[in-house]
Structure 1
Amino acid sequence: MTDSASRQLLARSHRLGADRTVTNFGGGNTSAKGREIDPATGDEVDLLWVKGSGGDLATLAEAGLAIVRLDRFRALRRVYRGPEHEDEMVAAFDHVQHGRSGAAPSIDTSMHALVDAAHVDHLHPDAGIAIATAADGEELTRTIFGGKVAWVNWRRPGFQLGLDIAAIKESSPEVIGVILGGHGITAWGDTSHEAETNSLWIIRTAERYIAEHGAELPFGEPLEGYQALPAALRGEKAAALIPHIRGLVSTDRTQVGHFIDSEVVLDFLASSAHPRLAALGTSCPDHFLRTKVRPLVLDLPTDATVEESIARLTELHTAYRADYSAYYQAHATPDSPPMRGADPAIVLIPGVGMISWGADKKTARVAGEYFVNAINAMRGAEALSTYQPIPESEKFRVEYWALEEAKLQRMPAPKPLATRIALVTGAAGGIGKAVAKRLAAEGACVVIADLELEKAQAAAAEIGSPDVAVGVSADVTSEEGVAGAVRAAVLAFGGLDLVVNNAGLVLARSLFDTTVADWDLQNDVMAKGSFLVSRAAARVLVDQGLGGDIIYISSKNSIFAGPENLAYSAAKANQAHQVRLLAAELGVHGIKVNGINPDGVVRGSGMFANGWGAKRAAVYGVAEEDLGHYYAQRTLLKREVLPENVANAVFVLASADMSHTTGLHVPVDAGVAAAFLR
């Protein structure tokens, strides 16, 4: 592809994909046709560059484009045996690619290759889907667009749909695009600019028509008792419900959550039409592939108590699983893939909001965004007509399609800590930051908790996007502060699985120089702080019913009696015994509690940098810059302990390989004989 054509296609894709009124994250595809020299023959060949399977238009790169030989693709007409044999064409796509194509062609490649236009856009705009899912969508298409846009009855994406659109383009030169029944829009042009202009004209024309002609209350009158709670109360109720919901929706496999309490969701749930519309579910394939055929909706008013809501959600979840199993059994054929799980992906709580679920935070977030798009489409359809999604039999044909199964099989194996949500205290630097980095690298979602919010947020940003890590403020000496940090973790990722009690400080003084304030501060942060964090986190872990891990970063000082360090060492000994006590108490819930006893970690440690290093160096009679070397030389292995060494131990304790270990203290001290466990 010429540099100019490539830049135009990618730039157009980025503009269209960046506007969520135009298409969803990961949804839609764009293409361009052109000629290049075939290096195998030296002849010019006609090629198609089209967004491949997966990826997102807003961030599409050249490597995300599939490259197809147009002559070979169009020759597939000769071997195509009709709609009932659509799946045969998926395998045929492997034989029409040109060179080392960057991405696998998606099923939508057919409409791009077969339509005789240099540039084609296929998009999922809310307004376009509103027309596409209206009961009288075909008539609305004629009314809204005149003869410039044609209607295509619902057909599962594939070769036949491409033939259908190509026939419209060939027979009606005045047509610039189509409304795909139940699905979205496709538009084209002779230039990249013309295709983009036509796409946006269809979308904006639909938006204006809905705004000017739509009903004032498309979702009907407000439903008494279902109004939104104030923001603070929404957060509190959501945080109380989410652990129980996570336990329910993780029946088949553990999931991560995303909480949305936007006005769009709250208004929908406050409307009289929401039970009917939610039961109909989503329609666009990109929607229901991520949201499932329908959400689980709590059918209680806003003032229902947490206890009442939990009891009802448990009943509804049982019914949901039975209904989904019945849906699968009703439509499955002998060659259908096995059922992938019967738990909901979307849970709606009137007055509170929506919790979407997935295999990771990004998947959960995108599922929630898609359901918001579906609500917008429902609103537009109801404003002009009646919302009428595609039949469930057709949803099943897409959800359990061979192509979708193949796409799932191509996904990389999950990392060891995938779906696990970790809260690490004192994690803006030093050991805590190293632990957070390692956990995130192994697939966990991480909440960086630290006394200073800005530092916590900076550390989280260094680790990754908010889909991977978030920073929160946490004063571990405050019951309210700890509760807030745990609540923030639950709202950020939908639960909690792993807690690392790392927050600490040291004031190294002799017995006579240790003040009551010194004693209280160190015990408040480490002994009391660990107790508060463990208690608040354990409530979430128990509510979820999924087990979990609590790990204490104690110290070799919990065993080793060193000079002039009374308050710190006593607090660490308190932490060490908390490990044993909580392991004994929480084991019945499947919660493991273990500890790690590091030697002095000098490099990268905030505590050593804040003056403690100089004081310990003075006690041992060495220069401060030599303290790490001094500590290493007193060990059996003669190795300095680094924050990463402690992080490695945390990962091991949290991994599946240590599923039967609790109440253990792991020395990470390079071998300090005086601190041997006995």
Structure 2
Amino acid sequence: MTTNDHPAVADLLARSHRLGADPRNTNYAGGNTSAKGTAADPVTGGEVELMWVKGSGGDLGTLRPEGLAALRLDRLRALKDVYPGVEREDEMVAAFDFCLHGKGGAAPSIDTAMHGLVEAAHVDHLHPDSGIALACAADGEELTKECFGEQVVWVPWRRPGFQLGLDIAAVRRAHPQAIGCVLGGHGITAWGETSEECERNSLHIIRTAETFLAERGRPEPFGPVLDGYQALPEAERRERAAALAPVVRAIASADRPQVGHFTDSDVVLDFLAAAEHPRLARLGTSCPDHFLRTKVRPLVLDLPAGAPLEEAVARLKELHAEYREEYRAYYERHADASSPAMRGADPAIVLVPGVGMFSFGKDKQTARVAGEFYVNAINVMRGAEAVSSYAPIEESEKFRIEYWELEEAKLRRMPPPKPLATRVALITGAGSGIGRATAQRLAAEGACVVVADLNGEAAAEVTRELGGPDRAVAVTVDVTSEEQIRAAFASAVLAFGGVDLVVNNAGISVSKPLLETTARDWDLQHDIMARGSFLVSREAARVMRDQGLGGDIIYIASKNGVFAGPNNIAYGATKADQAHQVRLLAAELGELGIRVNGVNPDGVVRGSGIFAGGWGAKRAAVYGVPEEKLGEFYAQRTLLKREVLPEHVANAVFALTGGDLSHTTGLHIPVDAGVAAAFLR
């Protein structure tokens, strides 16, 4: 039996999943759980005492066996004899590696000592809002005693580490009747001799604290509602959020590009409408998990909800300049020669009264989780203010954790970002063919993708293939409609904070001789592709201008925009229009750092929505070949004798946007396997 098959591991994983599934118990990736037991030593065959504990970076709700660290308890507990003291406690983390049992598993986290040194078979360390509310109340020790009596013990704030593990172990020995403790400024820890007892004790602490705060607390802990700061009606609120999102993203991305997330939940809106929100927001968050994601405090717009948009934008920019100065001063107050370099002075959380919260991170999940953590912080503030006053840990302690060498080492271990990380791509006609292949390629390279298509079901299916809302969102859009295009971009900026990369791919094809081509055929062809790509590019340019991050606009044009083939007047003329739009917009938008390029495919039959919709049959008839042989026919007329597939076009889009061609604009790349008549001159 491997240690992963051990009954204690199965119980530990089941308990972790139950605890992690309820956000009242702990935040995403927050807290850790452990179990102790005996197993056979793989060398001697003798029984050894082991501890399995959630490793660094995992999440309780989705914890798997490989997310556990397995350690020898005798070695772990022997570290007490060589512990050099609190000033050098960080050295103990490296020592955990020498206590590991077997191969594989996760790296031990900073909280490993807490679990190993406490004399209990099962230990839970969690970050429930109710527990942190008591931990961050000004008189938290007295409130903990009032709430729990002798059952739960108060432990004053101490940075996570080996010494905190020693402190909690001492509490366990000194208070044999206790089921756990409240850690000042931090969270809770509970224990039990069985997995069931430990889980029961954890939930008892959490639910008892919830009840205490609800029954003991005053009804309006954030104070009265400020006139003019109430939530705007939903439609107006989201319209304003969409207008502000690119500007706010520019604020959060001054040092390095960020992906955004928008939240307008009642928790956020009620907090921002209350009189005490400026004071509380300035105090910042307390739990280490919170402020590592949200920074020490958010940027808060100090204007009522109905302030003119231009005034709100101007004020946000002023506040951003002040925020950067204050953050630099915070860094300089506490940094010493051993501190890592300042990572960036932009806010991770931006709060706009009446509208909601914008949160930011290196990808969509990080941005979303940062927002969730700030909601946790609001709940903590509410609980603490209800029974006392909110008193987070000292600023100097926040700095020690934010710029902790162990956190810096964790950042260094992270894999390098993918080429399109932090970039948001909107692709029209992305439900099939070239658009679908482009969505797949850009997502694989790290981009967040807005899958836009007239066929909403097809767009939704592509987003599922790409991995869901943290990777992609679907929008149904008719590119001939200005209103629908605006709505599509509004959805994009609310989902991801902005748009950096737009691919004009939507299209149809009318294949008829001149005398059979009607004015309606001509208008339909030009409305969808020439007019549609113009409208999409115009809206993209507005967003990109407000972001100030540059951007890419790619046109999927065609060999037919260069080469004059038979029976193709409407399609060929429209593609020529698109090709010249590339040149015109490249010349106009370059000063904004927006690059505009094109791709000229030919003969993309397999997977193509256009060819499947009747165009293939008509072109096959023109060339006198069976429709199922059309792709082969196109291949044989090329110089390379190769069939062009949607993914080949997607490769060209990536080549233009992935970074290596950063100084190229106004270019058309042929992806036609070599059609000499379409060579660009």
> Do the two structures share a fold, i.e. TM-score over 0.5?
yes
Kindly state the Cα deviation for residue 22 of structure 1 after the two structures are TM-superposed: 0.4
What is the one-letter code of the residue matched to 1:413? Answer: P
What is the one-letter code of the residue matched to 1:151? Answer: W
State yes or no: 1:94 paired with 2:101. no
State yes or no: 1:279 paired with 2:282. yes
Q: Deviations over 1:587-643 (max 9, x none)?
A: 011100000000021000011111111111111000011000000000000001000
Alignment of 1:84-483 (within 5 A): 84-483=87-486
Alignment of 1:562-641 (within 5 A): 562-641=565-644
Percent identity, please. 71
Q: Deviations over 1:148-175 (max 9, x none)?
A: 1000000000111111110111121110
Kindly state the Cα deviation for residue 547 of structure 1 after the two structures are TM-superposed: 0.6
Give the aligned partner of residue 503 of structure 2. Answer: 500
- 8 Å contact 2:603–2:635 — kept in the other structure? no
Give the aligned partner of residue 554 of structure 2. Answer: 551
Point out the more displaced range, 98-107 or 624-633.
98-107
Kindly state the Cα deviation for residue 344 of structure 1 after the two structures are TM-superposed: 0.5
Kindly state the Cα deviation for residue 655 of structure 1 after the two structures are TM-superposed: 1.5
Gaps of 5+ in 1: none
Q: Cα 1:551–1:195, aligned 2, differ >3 Å: closer, same or farther?
A: same
Kindly state the Cα deviation for residue 276 of structure 1 after the two structures are TM-superposed: 0.4
- 8 Å contact 1:498–1:550 — kept in the other structure? yes
Give the match's secondary structure for 2:164.
helix
- 8 Å contact 1:67–1:101 — kept in the other structure? no
- 8 Å contact 2:34–2:54 — kept in the other structure? yes
C-alpha distance in structure 1 between counterparts of 2:653 and 2:279, whole Å: 48
Alignment of 1:61-72 (within 5 A): 61-72=64-75
Kindly state the Cα deviation for residue 294 of structure 1 after the two structures are TM-superposed: 0.3
Point out the more displaced range, 242-251 or 186-195.
242-251
Give the match's secondary structure for 1:582.
helix
Kindly state the Cα deviation for residue 42 of structure 1 after the two structures are TM-superposed: 2.2
Alignment of 1:666-677 (within 5 A): 666-677=669-680
C-alpha distance in structure 2 between counterparts of 1:380 and 1:245, whole Å: 29
State yes or no: 1:24 paired with 2:46. no
C-alpha distance in structure 2 between counterparts of 1:655 and 1:206, whole Å: 51
Give the match's secondary structure for 1:134.
coil
C-alpha distance in structure 1 between counterparts of 2:321 and 2:483, whole Å: 35
- 8 Å contact 1:65–1:101 — kept in the other structure? no
Give the aligned partner of residue 526 of structure 2. Answer: 523
Q: Deviations over 1:539-595 (max 9, x none)?
A: 000111111000000000001111111111111110000000000000011100000
Kindly state the Cα deviation for residue 100 of structure 1 after the two structures are TM-superposed: 1.4
Gaps of 5+ in 2: none
Give the match's secondary structure for 1:512.
helix
C-alpha distance in structure 2 between counterparts of 1:558 and 1:3, whole Å: 66
Of 30, 54, 71 in structure 2, the residue corresponding to residue 51 of structure 1 is: 54
Kindly state the Cα deviation for residue 465 of structure 1 after the two structures are TM-superposed: 2.1
Give the aligned partner of residue 6 of structure 2. Answer: 3
C-alpha distance in structure 2 between counterparts of 1:377 and 1:87, whole Å: 29
What is the one-letter code of the residue matched to 1:495? Answer: G
- 8 Å contact 1:297–1:349 — kept in the other structure? yes
Kindly state the Cα deviation for residue 3 of structure 1 after the two structures are TM-superposed: 3.1
- 8 Å contact 1:257–1:361 — kept in the other structure? yes
- 8 Å contact 1:115–1:166 — kept in the other structure? yes
C-alpha distance in structure 2 between counterparts of 1:662 and 1:351, whole Å: 41
Point out the more displaced range, 529-538 or 241-250.
241-250
Alignment of 1:638-649 (within 5 A): 638-649=641-652
Kindly state the Cα deviation for residue 91 of structure 1 after the two structures are TM-superposed: 1.8
Give the match's secondary structure for 2:597.
strand
Moved over 6 A (4+): none
- 8 Å contact 1:453–1:473 — kept in the other structure? yes
- 8 Å contact 1:601–1:628 — kept in the other structure? yes
What is the one-letter code of the residue matched to 2:71? Answer: V
Give the match's secondary structure for 1:41.
coil
Q: Deviations over 1:119-139 (max 9, x none)?
A: 000000010111110001100
Report the count of equivalent residues.
678
Kindly state the Cα deviation for residue 6 of structure 1 after the two structures are TM-superposed: 1.5
Kindly state the Cα deviation for residue 43 of structure 1 after the two structures are TM-superposed: 2.0
What is the one-letter code of the residue matched to 2:558? Answer: S
